[in-house]
Structure 1
């Protein structure tokens, strides 16, 4: 079945379960799903009910779409995302982005948990993504292109909206939240990186490293969406000083960072997405 037909089937099911027409899409990463609890007039659609949707298998990812209003703006939040390392194709990973676009979103805010490779960062920092390195060896747009979804060769000169980054900086300053800015290196996982790999990524220009976001952002830009990316730096991934790391540690730091993260995202939506 053609991708466009799959998208339309998913959209049809979703529209039968919610009356909301979202303008902003949120992808909530590890430990950050609680922002969906702030959504008012919430209507929930389980991924399992949506045709062609994968199922989220990672701890801390609930696996549902939450529709409603946040700071007076109509939104849809992905409470849990899909990853290439779960065995899904990149096309399956990004399928929800196309569905949210077809539902009406104009802006995508993608969040994640990431390791900090920049020595000026600290665990618990929030980093606004200015650009990315696609180190996965794959791309969700490989294969036949459906022109209705976007161009064959999408421009990526401004993958992350400079306007939204500037807005996020202004909101953070007004809230007294320190934010970093940097380049996100997207890898496949599921292993964490070796010291030599981290040194390589840092040398190539990466400031943070993680296992998500890049495919979704490529699809979002293919569809003409404006994108803001925010990483929660959950651990320091300095190759020369690397210590053992577990997913539980990542989630624990993400949970500690939740209050300021949630305030920042709510402020961005309130101030810039009316």
Structure 2
């Protein structure tokens, strides 16, 4: 099993270390990995079956160590459906984190806002999602050792973890909203008509990632929390064009708030442990 081999390599590279929290960093958000203490970095190319990103802003390495008092394994970069390589490598990566010891997955991403009052630089805790990619990463034979054939997506984005994220945002005076994230195929940005359609469907933000990781993670029993960095207003909702350079610039500008929020969130997991029966 490819995921088992990758997990064994992760544990071998970081002898004596067992991660509890997996983190996936989106476009322009890789700087959080630089804050990890006692860090051990492994290229995705050295982990059997891991995805190798081809998009600017995605470094393509796994960084392990201590952050916010938690042992973490941080995926610095991700792959997307539009890169055309399917979901096998993504499944391998998420499942390898599970086998290596993770019980929680935190997903971050850059996204375009569909609400004019939530502009660039804001953070949005993901409360639910719309999978509009035209594909599901669990399509094909089910791997029963990881999860059921028909996994529930009720509360896919863990409400307790989201409540913790809200508390930490409030404590640190970070402006955090909540909303529904729509995953759109890309790589072209949405048209103004598509933006209007997404609003009718109930989406608050749109991006090209994140949902497949959530589905894979929930299938294998990981708890999932997510935070989107709003980098632009959807086409037709604001002035000027939307492009990837703008996404990277805006994500970089908001990265400080995201980093503070996630470190506080990780510190708060110990508090949450004390409340659970």
Aligned match of 2:148: 151
1:189 matched to 2:186? The reply is: yes
Is it true that 1:14 corresponds to 2:10 in the alignment? yes
Give, in whole Å, the separation in 1 of the partners of 2:92 and 2:136. Answer: 13
Q: Which runs of 5 or more structure 2 residues have no equivalent in the other structure?
A: none
Contact 1:116–1:238 at 8 Å: present in 2 too? no
- Distance in 2, Cα, partners of 1:24 & 1:156: 20
Who is 2:47 aligned against?
50
Cα RMSD for the two superposed structures: 1.2
Which residue number in structure 2 is paired with residue 200 of structure 1? 197
The alpha-carbon deviation at position 238 of structure 1 amounts to 5.0
Asked if 1:40 corresponds to 2:33, the answer is no
Question: Counterpart of 2:166?
Answer: 169
SS at match of 1:22: coil
Aligned to 1:96: 93
C-alpha separation in 2, matches of 1:247 and 1:186: 16
Name 1:106's counterpart in structure 2. Answer: 103
Distance in 2 of aligned mates of 1:269 and 1:55? 27
The corresponding residue for 1:24 is 21
State the TM-score, normalized to the length of structure 2: 0.95
1:127 is matched with: 124
Name structure 1 gaps, 5 residues minimum: none
User: In structure 2, how many angstroms separate the alpha carbons of the residues matched to 1:93 and 1:191?
Assistant: 21
Matched residue SS, 2:13: coil
**TM, length-normalised to structure 1:** 0.96
- Residue 56 of structure 2 is matched in structure 1 by 59
Please give the secondary structure, in 2, of the residue aligned with 1:132: strand
2:206 maps to 209
Give the Cα–Cα distance (whole angstroms) in 1 for the partners of residues 49 and 257 of structure 2.
Answer: 34
Query: How far apart are 1:51 and its partner, in Å?
Result: 1.1
What is the match of residue 83 of structure 1?
Answer: 80
**Poorly superposed stretches of 4+, deviation over 3 Å:** 238-243
Q: Is the 1:150–1:222 Cα contact (8 Å) retained in structure 2?
A: yes
